[in-house]
Structure 1
Amino acid sequence: MTFFALKINAAVRKLLTFHQQSPASRTQPVDSRPGSAAARDGADESLAVPSIVPVVLEARPGAPEAPAVRIFLGTQPAQHRAERIFFYSLERVRNPLRRYEVYRMTGLPGFDRQGWRTGFTNYRFAIPDLAGRQGRAIYNDVDQIFTADPAELFDQPMGEHGYLALLPEDTAVMLIDCERMARCWTFAKACREPKKALCAEAAAEPGRWGALDPCWHARDFEFRPGETKLLHYTALHLQPWRPTPEQYSYQIHPLAEHFLSLEQAAEQEGYEIYTAAHPSPGFATGCEQAARMPAESSANFRRQAQAAGVAQLALVGAWGDADAGDPSQVRWPLEALGRDDLPAQEAIAANGLERLPVEDLPWLVDRLFRLGRQWVFVRAELGAEESMIGSLDGWRTLLRRVAQRYPDRCWQLDCQDRQGRTHRFRADFAQRTRGGQDLPRVWVLQGGRAGDNAQLTDIAEALGWPYEIKRPESLASAGATDAWPDLVLSAGRHTAVVARRIRRQSQGHARLVVLGRPRAPLADFDRVVTTPQYGLPLRQNVVDLPAPFIGEHPLDEATLEAWRQRFAHLPRPWIALLVGGDSIPYRLDAQTAAALGREAGAAARARGGSLLVSSSPRTSAGATDALLAAIDAPLWSYRFGSQGDNPYRALLALADAFVVTGESVSMLTEACMSGRPVAVFPLPVQRHRKARLHHELERRLGVIERVAGSRGVPRQQNRLGRLYDELVAAGWIKRERCVEQVHQALGVAPLPEGLDHPPGLSPALLAASRERALQAIREVMQAERPIS
C-alpha cells in the first residue's frame, strides 16, 4: 500500500471513530432542594427543581428601581471560552443603572440527554420552573454575544404572547413569560420529552408564540453592523473558540474577529466571570475539601526556586514538609488567595487547585501570578474531561493565558495525567531575556511577491526582535549550527519550503511561522497565520485573521499637502478607485473594466464628487483604457509605471471613500484601515478546465457552498467535510482562493451601497487582529518547554 493510501486510510479511520462527547461530570453547584413551583399544575413531584445561584451584575448605587433583567444561559464545560465572552459582551453593553441576574444552566440533574446536539439542549424548556413561574426571562445559548443592551429586549411589549422567538421552533434566543409558559414547559417535561415535541406543544395554542425582532437573533451571516444586537455563531464547525476539536474540523468564520477581539480585550483587562471579591457558589466548599487532601512534598519546588536564585517562597495549599520556622518560606491555605492584603513574594508554589471549582481557577491563577514576582510553580492533577483543566493542554493553556498579562514572570507546571505520570513544563523566557539579553534572532525569508515581503517586514518590525532579511538563494552555503536563527518568518509555498529545510539543518532549533497558505503539512510549522480566502482548516497551530497583516505607513504632512493641492480642483467627495487585475481565478478584462468605470462614475456623479483612479502592476493596458474611457465623472488618474509619483499612499490618506476591485485583498484591507466607506467591485471568476472540474467535485461532495434555508445559515459539517479538511491540512489538496470570504470578514458591500457606510470591521478591530497575530508569534518563542 502506498504512503498516500495509508494516510487516507488513517484519516478515514479517525473520522469513523467520531462520537458525541458525554455530558459534563463537573458542573456549577446547584441547590437540589425543590423549587417553589416543583409540584404545581401537574409537575412531577419526584423531580426536584434545582435552585441556581445566579451571577449578579449589580446596579450602580442610587439607581432607580427597575425589575432585574433575568437571563438563563444554556452552557456546558467545553464552552468555557464562549461563556466568558458571553458575560464580557454583556458587561460592555449593559445599563449600569440596572441589575442583571444570569443563571448558568449547566449539568442540571434529571435530564435524558440522548439525542442532544449540545450538553444543554432542553434546559431552556425548564426555565419557567427554574424562574419560579413568575416574571420574564431571556434565554440564550452560550455561543452568542450581545452588541446591545439586553434590557431593551427584556422590557419590550409581549402582548398576550407566552414567548418571543424568530420562529416557534427556533428557540436559541427567547423572551419568556414564565407564568404563561409554565402551562406547557415544566421541568419534568424538559427532562424527558424531546425538543421537537416541546416546541410543537408551545406552538399549538394560537397566539402563544410571537415573532422576535431579528435584530436580537442574527445567525452567522445574518449579522448587520450597526443593526444587529445579538450575534449567534450557530455553525458548530465555525465557532471561533473551537470548543470540541475532537468532534469538528474547524474552519474560519468570516465574523470570527467580533468574538476574538472581545476575548483579546477581556484578556487585557483581566476579566473573569468569577473573581476574588465574588467567587463561585462552590468556592468555600471546595476550599474545605482541598484542605483535607493529603499533603505533598514541596522539596522539588524548593530546589527549583533555589536554582532560580529565589530567596522567598510562598507555599499555597497542602504542603507537608515545609519548615514552619524558616523565614524564607510563607505558608497560606488556598482560601487565602481571596484576600487582597497578601504580600508579594519572589516565588509562589501552589498545590491542589484542581480540588476547587473550575470556574474559580482563572482568578486564582491570576492571583498567583500577581503575588509571585519572579516565579509561579503549580502542582496539579487533571479535572473533568470536558473542563478547561481536563487535559495537560488545558492546564498549560490556562497558565499561558494568564501569564500573558505578566510578561516578566516565569512559571512551571508539574501535572499528573490519568495514568499517574507527572509531566513538567517550564516557561522561563522572561528570565532568559531579562535586561534585553538573549533576544530571539529572526530571519525574514523574502520571495517574489512584494505584498508578502511587506507583510513579513511589518511583522518583524512589530515584534521588536533583531531580524535579518534573507533571500532563499543566499542560504545555499549556510551550515554552521550556531548561525541558525531562533525564528524564521516566511510566506506562501516557495519560502515555506526553504523554512522547512532550515529547521532540518538546524536540527529542530529554528521555529517556523508561515503566512498565508504553505501548501505543505500544517503540522510542519509552529504557527500558520492565515486569512479566510485560503480555506485552511484550523488546527491548534493555526491563527486566523480576517485580513492580511499590513502595518500603517503614513506619509508626512508636507507630502500630503502637496497631493491635496493636486486634487484641489476636483469636487468632493474624492472617491479613490483602486484597480487590481487578473489573479486566479478572477479576471479583469476590458469588458469588466468598462463596467467598473460606468458604475464608479455613476456613483461619483450621484454624490456630486470625483474619482481618483490608480491602477496596479496587474492592470493590463487594455483594461486601463476601457476603464478610463467608460468613466463619465470628474476624474484624476494614474497608470502604474508611468512617469510621476505613485499616489497610492496619498489616496489612502486623503480619499473620502474607496472603490476597490474585489480580488485585491491587500488593497481592500488598507482601504478599510482608514475607517471610511469602502465599496467592493467583485471580479468575475474564470476557471480553466481542471479548476472547473475541481470546483464542481467540491460542490457535489458538499464541502463548499453548504448553506441551509432562505437566510443562508451554514449547514453543519459532515464527516466527508472533516475528511476533506484532513487532506487540505496534510497539504495534498489546495482549495480555490475565495476572496468573497474576506469581503464578508471586512464587512464591505458592492457598489453603490458600500459608499454609504464604513466597513463592518472597524480600524480598531483590524488593529486588534494584528496584535493577536503578534501575540501568537511571540508565544512560539515564549512557549513552555517539556522538561524530562
Structure 2
Amino acid sequence: MASPRIGERAAPELVTLGVRPGHGSRGKLPVRIFLGTEPRQHRAERVFVWSIEQVRDPGRVYEIFLMKGLRGFRRRGWTTGFSNYRCAIPHYAAAAGRAIYNDVDQIYLSDPAELFDLDLGEHGYLAVAPNDNSVMLIDCERMAKVWPFEAACTESKAALLRRATGVPGNCGPLEAGWNARDGEYREGRSHCLHYTNLHTQPWAPFPERFVYQEHPQGSLWFDLERSADAAGFEIFTRERPSSLYRALGNEPPLDQVPIDDLPWLLDGKLATAGPVHLEIACDPPGGVPRGPDGGRDPARTANWWAERLDAAARRRPGTRWTADLRGPGDVRRIRSGGPAPGGGSPRVWVLADDRPGNTTQAVGFAEALGWPFERKRLVPGLLSRLHNRILGASLRGMDLARSDPLEPPWPDLVIAAGRRTAPVSLALREASAGAARLVQLGRKGADDAALFDLAVTPAYTRLFPHPHRLVLDGPLHRVTPERIAEARVHWKERFETLPAPRIALLVGGTSGQYRIDGATARRMGEAVARRAREAGGSVLVSTSRRTGDAPAHALRTALEGIPSHFYGAGGAGENPYLGYLAWADELVVTADSESMLVECGSLGKPLSIHPLPERWSFRLLRFFREAVLRRARAQPLGQRETGRPQQGLELLCARLIERGWVRPTRDLSLLHADLERRGLAVALGEPPRVPAEPPASENPRAVARVRAMLGLVD
C-alpha cells in the first residue's frame, strides 16, 4: 500500500458543537453533518460551521465531519477536491443512522436539526432534485448498498449518481428552501443558501481561475465572517488542533503547519507583548505538492503569507511584528505591522503629481489618518503616457531630475492617487523589500487592486470587488466641518458683505467625458444670474485650468451687473475655494467635477448639477468599454438553470478589466443619479432643496481599514 501523502486523512475530521453551558441536553440524536470541502475553502468552511453555531439548538449535539484530503480515492475527472466524498458517507457512518451532506459553499439560515429530523420514509435520500446531491438527507443503511465504498472511491460522480437515481423511489423530495441556489434565495423562507455560481462566491477561493464579481447575497456571508472574527471563532484551536497537526508531533516550522491550524498558531505568536520576529520559507509561484492529489492546497507564496499574517494582525492588533519571508533563490520580502518602534507614528509618504485633484485626495486622506507625512513631488516625464501594466513597478515615467528625491529610509505607508503615481508606489515597495504598504486612490491608479495593499475607488467606477478594494460613494476629500468653520472665519471680511443668498458656481471644464465651450458657459452663467437676480443674491465663481479662456470670458459677460467674486485657477492671491463653500447658501457644480460634487454634497446645502454636453470620442470609447463590461458580467445558464462558471469570452473580458487593460467607463451620470437619489443634489433648473442631513464622512471607513492593515489598535 502506498505511503500516506502530506495532508492526507484516513477519515473525515470530526468537529463537535456540544450542548452549550447552561442548557440541558434534549436527549435527541446528534445531528450528523458531512461537509465536502478542500484546503482552498478554509474561509468558507469556517463560515459554514459558524452559521450552524448561530442557528442551532443549544441543547443538542452537532457532529460536523470535514471531508477533505481523504485517502484512497481516484480523483481523475473531479471538478472539485471533494466530488465523490458524498457517496462515501454511508461507509464513514458505518452504514447506520442518518446524515446530512452539504457542499462547503453553503450557509445555514435555519437550524439543520429541522432537516436532520425530517421523515425519510422509504427513500434512500432526500434532495431538491434527483440529479442535485449538493444537499442531501441520507439513510446511511440504505445508501450503503447503493454506494459501496469501493465504488465511491473509483467510479465517476456521474456513474454514482446513476446508481442512486436508478433505484425506483430512492430519491425523495426535499423542500427547495434547504438548497436555495443564488437567485432562489428568499428572505425568511430559505433555510440553506447555496453560493453555486463559482465566480461570485464572496470568499473568492480560486482567483487564478476566475475574476470574482459581486454576489447579490454576499453581505449575508460577509456578516457571518465578521461576527466569527468578532467572537474569535476558529474551527481548530491550540486545545483542539487538527488531526494533521497532531500527527506532526512537535511544533513544525510555519511553512509545514496544516492550513487548518495556521490561524490559531499565528494568533498565539502575536498574542505576546512583542516584538515578534518570524522567519518563513515560501513556496515558488507554482506551489509544492500537498494533499492527496498533490495540487489542491494553495501555493504558499510570499503574497499568500502576507495575507495570512495581516489577518492574524487584525485579530491581534497592538503587537509589533516582523516577518522575514524567504522564497526560492533567497529572494527576501519583509512584512511587518503593529506600533512603530518606540511608540512613534508610521513613516508616511504622499506622492503628489501635477494633477491638483489627485494631490487633494491623497493629502486629504493622509491628514485624516492623523500622522505626520512627507509630500513627495513627482514630475511626470514622457514615458508616463505608457500604460501602467507596461511600466510595472518603476520610476521610468517620472522626470527624476525635477522630482523630489526618493531615498531611504523607506516609508511604512505610501499614499498616492491617479494613474501616473501607481508605478512609483510599486517601485517603492520593491525598493523596501516589500515593507512599504501601498494605498492607491482612484479608478485609474487602483484599477488592478491585487497590486496594492488597499485600493480605494468610487462605486460608480464599477470595478470588480477584491479583498484589497474599498468601495466608497465618491472620492476621498479634505472638506471637513472643521475646515469649513475655519474658512468661514478666514473669509468673513471678504464675503460677508455680498448679498445673500450667495450662489457658488464651481466650474470644471473639458474632460474625457464632457466638453465646455463659450456657448455652454454663457447659458450656465445666464441661468445662475437669473437665479441670483430673482433672489436678490450674489455669485461666487471658481473656474479650473480645464475651463479655458473663452468659457471663462463668457461667464463673466453673462454675470455682468450681478454682485460677484471671480477666481480662476492659477490666479493671483489665495484660492478662496473653501471660503466659497463656507459662505455659499447654494451651490452649482458642473457635471464633470466629481471631487467638487462630492465635497459640496457633504455640506448639507442645496446643490444643483449643471449638465455639460458629452464628447463624441467618449461615446465611441464607452461603446467599446461597455461591450467588454457586459460580456464580463454575463452569466449564461448551465445545465441546472443556474449561472455556469466563468469561461471563454466572459473570462477574457473579465481579466482585461481586472488587470486594468480595459477600465469600465467613468460614467459620472451614475454619480449624479446617486447624489440625487440620496437627496443631496438636484439637476439645475429644479427647485433647490436642503438635504435632510449631511451624509456621514467616508474617511473613517478608509482610516479604519489602514489602521487594521497596519495592525494598529483602532
TM normalised by structure 2 equals: 0.61
1:514 lines up with 2:436 in the alignment: no
Query: Which of these residues, 293, 308, 314, is aligned with residue 404 of structure 1?
Result: 314
Q: CA RMSD in A?
A: 5.2
Q: CA separation in 2, counterparts of 1:740 and 1:234?
A: 33
Query: Which of these residues, 523, 529, 534, is aligned with residue 456 of structure 2?
Result: 529
1:551-603 deviations in whole A, cap 9, x for unaligned? 9x999xxxxxxxxxxxxxxxxxxxxxxxxxxxx99xxxxxxxxxxxxxxxxxx
Q: Post-superposition shift, 1:454?
A: 11
Q: CA separation in 2, counterparts of 1:160 and 1:519?
A: 62
Contact 2:109–2:191 (Cα < 8 Å) also in 1: yes
Q: CA separation in 1, counterparts of 2:187 and 2:111?
A: 15
Partner of 1:352: 253
Q: CA separation in 2, counterparts of 1:232 and 1:219?
A: 5
Percentage identity across paired residues of the two chains: 37
Secondary structure of 1:402's match? Answer: helix
1:388-412 deviations in whole A, cap 9, x for unaligned? 6743433333333212233332334
Partner of 1:94: 56
Q: Post-superposition shift, 1:718?
A: 1.0
Q: Post-superposition shift, 1:284?
A: 3.5
Check 1:546–1:231 CA distance in 2 against 1; reply closer, same or farther (3 A cut): farther
1:339-378 deviations in whole A, cap 9, x for unaligned? xxxxxxxxxxxx6344554422322222222245322434
Partner of 2:371: 465
Secondary structure of 2:248's match? Answer: helix
Query: Which of these residues, 165, 169, 190, is aligned with residue 207 of structure 1?
Result: 169
Q: Post-superposition shift, 1:219?
A: 2.0
Query: Which of these residues, 14, 28, 34, is aligned with residue 54 of structure 1?
Result: 14
Letter in 2 for 1:54: L
1:366 lines up with 2:276 in the alignment: no
Contact 1:379–1:414 (Cα < 8 Å) also in 2: yes
Residues 282-321 of structure 1: matches in 2 within 5 Å? 282-287=244-249, 290=250
Check 1:423–1:362 CA distance in 2 against 1; reply closer, same or farther (3 A cut): farther
Q: CA separation in 2, counterparts of 1:258 and 1:777?
A: 24
Query: Which of these residues, 337, 343, 350, is aligned with residue 435 of structure 1?
Result: 343
1:91-148 deviations in whole A, cap 9, x for unaligned? 2332221111111111222322121110111111111222122222111111222233
Partner of 1:247: 209
Q: CA separation in 1, counterparts of 2:278 and 2:204?
A: 28
Letter in 1 for 2:12: I
Check 1:112–1:775 CA distance in 2 against 1; reply closer, same or farther (3 A cut): farther
Contact 1:126–1:190 (Cα < 8 Å) also in 2: yes
Q: Where does the alignment leave 5 or more consecutive residues of structure 2 unmatched?
A: 381-397, 482-511, 514-580, 588-593, 602-615, 672-676, 678-695
Partner of 1:727: 656
Q: Post-superposition shift, 1:84?
A: 1.9
Letter in 1 for 2:338: A
Query: Which of these residues, 199, 202, 220, is aligned with residue 182 of structure 2?
Result: 220
Q: CA separation in 1, counterparts of 2:66 and 2:209?
A: 24
Residues 289-688 of structure 1: matches in 2 within 5 Å? 290=250, 334=251, 352-371=253-272, 373-378=274-279, 384=290, 386-387=296-297, 390-414=300-324, 417=327, 421-422=329-330, 424-430=332-338, 432=340, 434-440=342-348, 463-466=369-372, 479=404, 481=406, 487=413, 489=415, 495-497=418-420, 512-515=438-441, 517-518=443-444, 522=448, 525-530=452-457, 534-537=461-464, 542-543=468-469, 545=471
1:210-230 deviations in whole A, cap 9, x for unaligned? 332232222223333444332
Check 1:249–1:143 CA distance in 2 against 1; reply closer, same or farther (3 A cut): same
Letter in 1 for 2:439: V
Letter in 2 for 1:405: R
Check 1:467–1:95 CA distance in 2 against 1; reply closer, same or farther (3 A cut): farther
Q: CA separation in 2, counterparts of 1:173 and 1:554?
A: 52
Check 1:197–1:772 CA distance in 2 against 1; reply closer, same or farther (3 A cut): farther
Q: CA separation in 1, counterparts of 2:340 and 2:88?
A: 55
Letter in 2 for 1:734: R
Q: Post-superposition shift, 1:644?
A: 11
Letter in 1 for 2:112: P
Q: Post-superposition shift, 1:53?
A: 4.4
Q: CA separation in 2, counterparts of 1:353 and 1:512?
A: 26
Contact 2:107–2:221 (Cα < 8 Å) also in 1: yes
Q: Post-superposition shift, 1:434?
A: 4.0
Check 1:174–1:94 CA distance in 2 against 1; reply closer, same or farther (3 A cut): same
Query: Which of these residues, 146, 163, 166, is aligned with residue 128 of structure 2?
Result: 166
Q: CA separation in 2, counterparts of 1:397 and 1:530?
A: 21
Q: CA separation in 1, counterparts of 2:62 and 2:278?
A: 37
Q: CA separation in 2, counterparts of 1:735 and 1:393?
A: 27
Check 1:697–1:87 CA distance in 2 against 1; reply closer, same or farther (3 A cut): closer
Letter in 2 for 1:217: N
Q: Post-superposition shift, 1:273?
A: 0.9
Partner of 2:9: 29
1:279-305 deviations in whole A, cap 9, x for unaligned? 223444311xx4xxxxxxxxxxxxxxx
Contact 1:388–1:398 (Cα < 8 Å) also in 2: no
Contact 2:314–2:711 (Cα < 8 Å) also in 1: no
Partner of 1:145: 107
Contact 1:251–1:536 (Cα < 8 Å) also in 2: no
Check 1:213–1:54 CA distance in 2 against 1; reply closer, same or farther (3 A cut): same
Q: CA separation in 1, counterparts of 2:275 and 2:134?
A: 46
Q: CA separation in 1, counterparts of 2:669 and 2:51?
A: 28
Q: Where does the alignment leave 5 or more consecutive residues of structure 1 unmatched?
A: 1-23, 31-50, 291-333, 335-350, 556-583, 586-640, 648-663, 672-685, 743-747, 749-766, 784-788
Which moved further from structure 2: 438-447 or 113-122?
A: 438-447
Check 1:507–1:245 CA distance in 2 against 1; reply closer, same or farther (3 A cut): closer
Check 1:118–1:284 CA distance in 2 against 1; reply closer, same or farther (3 A cut): closer
Q: Post-superposition shift, 1:169?
A: 1.1
Q: CA separation in 1, counterparts of 2:148 and 2:109?
A: 31
Secondary structure of 1:224's match? Answer: coil
Q: Post-superposition shift, 1:468?
A: 9.3
1:463-484 deviations in whole A, cap 9, x for unaligned? 4434799999999986355899
Q: Post-superposition shift, 1:74?
A: 0.6
Check 1:361–1:705 CA distance in 2 against 1; reply closer, same or farther (3 A cut): closer
Q: CA separation in 1, counterparts of 2:123 and 2:458?
A: 45
Check 1:147–1:550 CA distance in 2 against 1; reply closer, same or farther (3 A cut): farther
